[in-house]
Structure 1
Amino acid sequence: MKMMTNLFSSFDPATNILNLSLNWMSTLMGIILIPMMYWFIPSRLSIIWINILLTLHKEFKMLLGSYSNKGSTLIFISLFSLILFNNFMGLFPYIYTSSSHMSMTLSLALPLWMSFMLFGWINNTQHMFAHLVPQGTPPILMPFMVLIESISNMIRPGTLAVRLAANMIAGHLLLTLLGNTGPMMNSFLISLLIIIQMLLLMLEFAVSIIQSYVFAILSTLYSSEVI
């Protein structure tokens, strides 16, 4: 009988840290493990985000044209989300802005451009050659147009990467330089500096959204040319 009592007593909530019965936490553990989207009514934030993604999907679908397959906009929406998340994280103090470095931006732009080029030249070679000479070009200018179009095509990943990195680093650099002048100012100028910093931070917030959108839109336009 004593052994049976000891056996069943192993189920008693005996864990006690700082007089808290932590064993009862297991009651809510399931809710913690299951993602919120499965058990909670969608919040306003998630509804806004879903609407943004649907709008982007419609816009990318329109840019890709009638040749786009199902799920073709997914990569560009994912790209937009990744860059947006990285740009926003960089607005917090003491957090490294990965999207302000060429190693990050070029590693996004170069594989995309390379895959578009390979797909275009392997599957639509005639179409790609036709793109090198714009319609209505005089015969005497055709060699120059081929050269110009080839160069503009080759520098596309570089321009994508530099645009994103330069825009992200410029605002952060300005915020840092202005912030470092604070200790040398009087109280009135510090108040003015804080207002300027807040306005610049709002501008950086807008730039974070715009640059991720521009990167995704240009990638979509480049992909639509090779179809």
Structure 2
Amino acid sequence: MMTNLFSVFDPTSSIFKTPANWSSTLISVLMLPTMYWLIPSRYSSMWNKITSTLHKEFKTLLGSGGMNGSTIMFISVFSTIVFINFMGLFPYLFTSTSHLVFTLTMALPLWMCYMIYGWLNHTQHMLAHLVPQGTPPALMPFMVCIETISNMIRPGTLAVRLAANMIAGHLLLTLMGSTGPSLTYMMTTLLLFTQVALLMLESAVAIIQSYVFAVLSTLYSSEVN
């Protein structure tokens, strides 16, 4: 039962006997060039408003020490994740963000770039960050260990948070949908409305988790300046 239940997250989907494991990731990339049309559409205008709002917020989080153009990277991360999350809500499309191999691939290089840049260019600031201000001298060795561990698990928490949230909603939809054939007509109708409500909730989760991933990445990068 457990094997069949979690097998829906295995990257073995196919369309017309053609492997389509990561097709949702490629589809999201193909949708992006529509933003660069000479005549802006409603879709491109709405997306421009979203990206401009994110740019202002990320610029505020980075502060005056942030490098120019760094917000473009975090907006790109948000755009990639939100497109892939929405693609995973369609039937027979593989949700790549529900696997740690994808989320950790995004979180680990970002974190490594922050650490390498911070320790090479702001070594004293990085060392001072290991001991919070006002820490008693007797607790300083313990605080260094705690801050070092909390810093090292950041890419893991980013990856696990995104993957776990995407798995949880899809797993609940799969569990409820598998009970449909054994229910009565009235219960099936109620199940259908429940599934639609959960699908709307998953749409909100897809946006929220993309936003959380991008915001936390921005906050982590602001600490090394």
Relative to the length of structure 1, the TM-score reads 0.83
Which residues of 2 match residues 70-109 of structure 1 at below 5 A? 70-109=68-107
2:219 alignment partner, one of 209, 218, 221: 221
2:169 alignment partner, one of 159, 165, 171: 171
Partner of 1:181: 179
Partner of 1:161: 159
1:194 alignment partner, one of 183, 192, 195: 192
Is residue 55 of structure 1 aligned with residue 48 of structure 2?
no
Considering only CA atoms, is the larger Rg found in Structure 1 or Structure 2? 1
Deviations 1:48-71 (A, max 9, x none): 110000000000001111012221
For 1:39 and 1:132, locate their aligned partners in 2 and report how far apart those are by CA, in whole Å: 50
The verdict on how the C-alpha distance between 1:102 and 1:205 changes in structure 2, with shifts beyond 3 A counting, is same
Instruction: State how many pairs are aligned.
Output: 193
Partner of 2:27: none
For 1:162 and 1:59, locate their aligned partners in 2 and report how far apart those are by CA, in whole Å: 24
The verdict on how the C-alpha distance between 1:54 and 1:35 changes in structure 2, with shifts beyond 3 A counting, is closer
Q: Give the Å deviation of 1:35.
A: 6.3
AA at the equivalent of 2:66: S
Deviations 1:148-186 (A, max 9, x none): 000000000000000000000000000001000000001
Q: Secondary structure at the match of 2:70?
A: coil
For 1:225 and 1:35, locate their aligned partners in 2 and report how far apart those are by CA, in whole Å: 35
Q: Give the Å deviation of 1:112.
A: 0.5
Superposition CA RMSD, Å = 1.3
Q: Tell me, which stretches of 5 or more residues in structure 1 are unaligned?
A: 1-33
AA at the equivalent of 1:90: G
Q: Give the Å deviation of 1:36.
A: 8.0
AA at the equivalent of 2:57: E
Partner of 2:24: none
Work out the percentage of aligned pairs sharing the same amino acid.
Answer: 68
Is residue 208 of structure 1 aligned with residue 203 of structure 2?
no
Question: Is the CA contact (8 Å cut-off) linking 2:61 and 2:218 kept in structure 1?
Answer: yes
For 2:38 and 2:167, locate their aligned partners in 1 and report how far apart those are by CA, in whole Å: 40
AA at the equivalent of 1:144: F
For 1:185 and 1:140, locate their aligned partners in 2 and report how far apart those are by CA, in whole Å: 64
